[in-house]
Structure 1
Amino acid sequence: MKRIFKNKVTFLVMFVLSFFLTTCTQEPPEEEQTLPILTTNEITGITTTTASCQGKVTSDGGATVTTRGVCWSTTENPTTACSKTSDGTGIGSFTGNLSNLTPDTKYFVKAYAINAKGTAYGAQKTFTTLQDQTMPEVTTGDITHITATTAICTGNVTSDGGATVTERGICWDTKENPVKDGSKTIAGTGVGEFSCNLIELIPNTKYYVRTYAVNKIGTTYGEQKTFTTLKEKTLPTVTTGDITNITATTATCSGNVTWDGGAEVTSRGICWNTNENPSTEDSKTSDGTGAGLFAGNLTELTPNTTYYVRAYATNSEGTAYGEQKSFVTNKDEAPNTFKDSRDGKVYKTILLGKQVWMAENLAFLPEVSPPALESANEAYFYVYGYYGTDVAVARETENFITYGVLYNWTAAMSACPDGWHLPNEDEWYELFEFAGGILKAGGRLKEAGTEHWSQPNEQASNSTGFTALPGGARGMDGDFINMFVNGNWWMSTKQGLFDAMFLSIQAHHGDVKRPILPKRNGFSVRCLKD
């Protein structure tokens, strides 16, 4: 009897324990369950096609987490309908390995967890896959500053191939396809433009040149270019050109430095004497530097005299001369001058085609006004830089002596002496055609050199002998402008009641321009013989 009772007690205890244990492990009622709670953590191990992302389920929401992992997309807010991993069940940390990614692409990532209530997501994170790593891309630039033993070459690393460029530079050889194991100059690291000095070259030798760039994938080269070093430095080569515009006391001679001898030409010009073989110790002009064409104006010559002329050019090795030429000045000055009976001034004149022009700006000055005074209908006379009204004082100024007078259009129309007149548009155009056309006439009409004109005095040769000077203007703002830069000359051709045409020649251009401006402006005058 006691044994039966003991068995019943044991059974009852086991039943109660089983009931309580079962009760403790049951999930809450469905209405109390929620979505899981989780976080999206660090993204690591990023390559061109893979990455790893960590997540953590911190609460299962009262219902078993049956699936957890990472989902991703190239658009925002990825879901489990996108690419995903499956990384176990339950709460706790996990890691998802993302694969089959596209290089150099931005991805959006979220951790996810699923329970009976649905799918929950962690915060969105982003990362970008690495680029595919290839060899760099590099181009070979220009080869400049070539001497007998040196040169400069530029290059540009346009892409590092997704890996750091650890070395870049220029390599060269006397054989094709030079490599960096031969002669080279290193020019740093990374992408971008660079420049290298090629040194210890052999004079008068053809070289092959390539840029190169190195990253961990390998070495790549730019396109091959070639150049030839100069010969050893020698005297320049210069030729003596034609002698033109001969008067009793002046002439013009051209020259051409065809080679600088491998060293900078620091001086060039024309030298002359009444004895043969003139040198730079005799009379000479200085007409710039470097190689190329130039013209020199020979002055203070003696009428009816034979002169010997040579072009010259000087570099660090010495002075070279062109072939000798000779000419004879005119017997007297009378046929090439005109005396204005109004004030006794003598003007140089010149025959250009069928036209006889004054070769100087008109300087007739019956009165003078400051630039603040103006009119389109009454005659006004100005001298550049002079703000007074005293004619005698104005005549003493250097600008009057060199550039003459600035006239408003009304004054210009009656300023030329008897037998001469202010040329119209067609007459100017005839001169332009004689001087080579609109695009070239400016250079051939301008005084050569930079004694009066500003640099560069583009294409100036004065091959016509017209000797156009940059006298500037009296501008519409009531002041003087543009001396040394512009020369402006009125035409008699008017445009309407208040405007007229004029010729403009500029220091920075070799052509001629024919603008239209109000008559109250002040410009120079060149008279044409009737």
Structure 2
Amino acid sequence: MKQNPDFPGSGIPVFLLMSLLVLAISCKKPDDSKNNPKTLASVSTSPVTNIGEYSAVGGGNVTKTGNDNVTARGVCWSTSPEPNLMDPHTTDGTGSGVFSSNLINLIPGTPYYVRAYATNNQGTAYGAQVQFTSEGNNTLPQLSTSQPANVTVNTADLGGHISSAGTSPVTDRGICWALFANPTIQDNKISCGSDTGSFTATITSLASNTPYFTRAYATNLSGTAYGNEIQFTTGGGTGTSCPGMATFVDTRDGQVYPTVQIGSQCWMKKNLNIGSVIEIHVDQDPTTYQKWCYGNVSGNCDIYGGLYQWDEIMQGSTQIGIQGICPDGWHIPTDGEFATLTYYLGGYDQSGEKMKEAGFIHWDPPNTGANDSSGFSALPGGYRYSAADSLTYGIRQYGYFWTSSGTQGNVVWVRLFSFNTGVQERTALFHLDGGSLRCIKNQ
């Protein structure tokens, strides 16, 4: 045979070589990964049957394996929608097909959500969600509120007793309290664990001489239950009510003021709050009763009393110790009367903490040193600053209290209580500024 010039010495015809090459190409194995990619499995969730108080039967059907091995399948359930493998679940074999699952440790009378699942190397697929409710009644915990104990000026021991957890375990328990009836866990609260039986907690930073409402609470999967409501009142420090006059009514507007006896003096225990409300940028008319409410918010007057200019509280007079805007039988304290009070309580360095209301209900932290042992219960109503566009500043931080004693010109002595010191300060405000007022009873 004549040799192929293109392949010297091969002795193989060209057409034969070409045929072998075509055959080799045509016999190459196809790439299955391109034609049959691996995906998550497909699974459906079966209806739940045989529902009891504590168990039920569910299941599913793995209809497609996703071109991969299904290594686990089952159902998962929860009291919240879209349960997953982080929730209670079963493992019911491998592979495709129909399977059955036993749901256990259910809570009677509780709605549940169920989904079947199937896991392969690509991840976990879930079926559609179905719902059912276990048989029986789901009940809240039963509990009572304990009588407050060891009530002081600003603390109290509160507690409760859980006699029954209900149809599911107690997940939280504790005490809630407020200045109004029917307090809830949305108000002030402290948690005391998650068991039944008795529990107590010491509540701190309460306001002195103040009525509070409290209830014990306990939570299970059914919700939150509350014990009976109990009212208690914190102590008022060493200062007691004025003899024969725990409170008095201002007949001009019907407002009620508690009193406190400190040494030989009888003081208002609340800031004065008489007068019609006007805008803070408008000066007050000393021929009538007018007041500012901090930030032009009337609710601030209900808590901290009104803010007044000096001419307003003096009703146009400059006489020291005048009745001014105070009720009959009371007058505006002089600088000297404030000095008597201050030194009775140990001087400026010590008296501030003894006169400030304790806690953080009305004061910003840290409310340094405040214990209100005197019962004066000074409040931080802020002030109106006439030199800065007549705006109000410092509520919950500073309380400026007028005296009837001028210094010189248009400046007047005041007493200042601050959130960041226990010292009472003797300082001054201008006539057109705004401060708070405590009246003192005539002797």
TM-score by length of 1: 0.38
- Which structure is higher in RCO with an 8 Å CA cutoff and minimum separation 6? 2
Structure with greater strand share of residues:
1
- TM-score (structure 2 length as normaliser): 0.45
